[in-house]
Amino acid sequence: MARARVYVTLKKSVFDPQGKTIHDALTSLGYSGVTDVRQGKFFEVALDGLTGDQARQTVEEIARTVLANPVIESYRVEVE
Amino acid sequence: MKVGVVVFPGSNCDHDAYHAVKHVCGQEARFVWHKDADLSGLDAIILPGGFSYGDYLRTGAIARFSPVMGAVKAFAAQGGPVLGICNGFQILQEAGLLPGAMLRNGGVKFLSQPVHVRVERTDTPVTAGIPAGRVLTMPIAHGEGNFYAEPEEIARLEGEGQVVFRYTTKDGRLDPAANVNGSTAAIAGVCNAARNVVGLMPHPERAAEPELGSADGRQLFEALVRVLTPVAR
């Protein structure tokens, strides 16, 4: 059984209000060395009956069409 | 005129939209369940506000796969008027029928308040006959209404006149304080290139009668009636 991890993040050019709020909170907690925070989403996908390239292809398709919105987000897929 | 109001699991402005069309404007209306792909006999489609499928993954992300959306795409491709309100707008973006995407509001908080929007274009089915530049007061109620598109896409939308509504002050001036969710170019509503599909974040159906605090939203439904009702001879 293959397992995949999908990381969905806002594109670098896109302002992240949640990340900024967390960064502001960290600054007020005294973490002065933190210069930026970006929030994203993390998915663990378990696949039965798919291995290697098939699994990767399927998860890439899921990430592209469902998990991420390409207008604002980018994604990265890891398969093991 | 007969309007179809699509009902997704989690829609919560469907009855308000139905009421605005049927009882406020005196037109025919029927609900269309999201698993139903039959839009026959309908002259216009409304995708109402709400939280389709809970919006758990992303606003509108799952609703766009509903069976009804194939029919809505075909209806739009034939030039049929489609209006997306709030979550309906987000679904149309996810479906690729309208440009851009919605980010979390600039100030992070869910916003539920009246806003003022300026009518930028009068060549859409929901703004026809409304004087350009008129300012309408309608409520918003959303956490993700911060319109975003890449700078080149924004330039293209402006060039093609696809920005239909903009957040302004009550007297129609652009002001960062009036752009409450931080939308790029203060965009509150857009249309597609063919101009028959329109989406906006404010809720015209919640501002369609004086009892609701504003009747300005009624003008959008009345525009639809004017556009779709055959002129009596």
Whether ipTM > 0.95 holds is no
- Mean pLDDT for B196-213 is 97
* B149 at interface of A, judged by CB pairs closer than 8 A: yes
Q: How far is B61 from chain A (nearest CA, A)?
A: 7
Give strand pairing partners of B46. B5, B83
Chain A residue nearest residue B101, CA to CA: A71
Contacting residues for B187 by C-beta, under 8 A, at least 6 apart: B100, B147, B157, B163, B165, B166, B167
* B185 at interface of A, judged by CB pairs closer than 8 A: no
B128 vs B123: CA distance, rounded Å: 6
Angle made by CA atoms B175, B180, B184, in degrees to the nearest 5: 75
Quote the domain boundaries for residue A15. 2-79
Confidence of residue B175 (pLDDT cuts 50, 70, 90): very high
Active site residues per annotation of B: 86, 203, 205
Q: What would the pLDDT profile of A14-65 be if each residue is shown by its tens digit?
A: 999 999 999 999 999 999 999 999 999 999 999 998 888 999 999 999 999 9
Confidence of residue B231 (pLDDT cuts 50, 70, 90): low
- Mean pLDDT for B32-41 is 96
User: What CATH number should be reported for the domain holding residue A74?
Assistant: 3.30.1280.10
A68 vs A41: CA distance, rounded Å: 9
- Is the per-residue pLDDT at B232 higher than 70? no
Confidence of residue A1 (pLDDT cuts 50, 70, 90): confident
User: Is the Cβ pair B101, A67 closer than 8 Å?
Assistant: no
Q: Give all domains of chain B, ordered by start, each with its CATH number.
A: 2-228 (3.40.50.880)
CA B6 centroid distance within chain: 13
What pLDDT is recorded for position B233?
53
Which chain B residues contact residue A14 at CB under 8 A?
Answer: 103, 148
Which is it for strands B163-168 and B2-7: parallel, antiparallel or unpaired? unpaired
What is the token pair recorded at B3?
């309007």
- The pair phi, psi for residue B81, each rounded to 5°, is -70, 130
What pLDDT is recorded for position A52?
86
B153 vs B159: CA distance, rounded Å: 10
- CB < 8 Å from B in window 25-64 of A: none
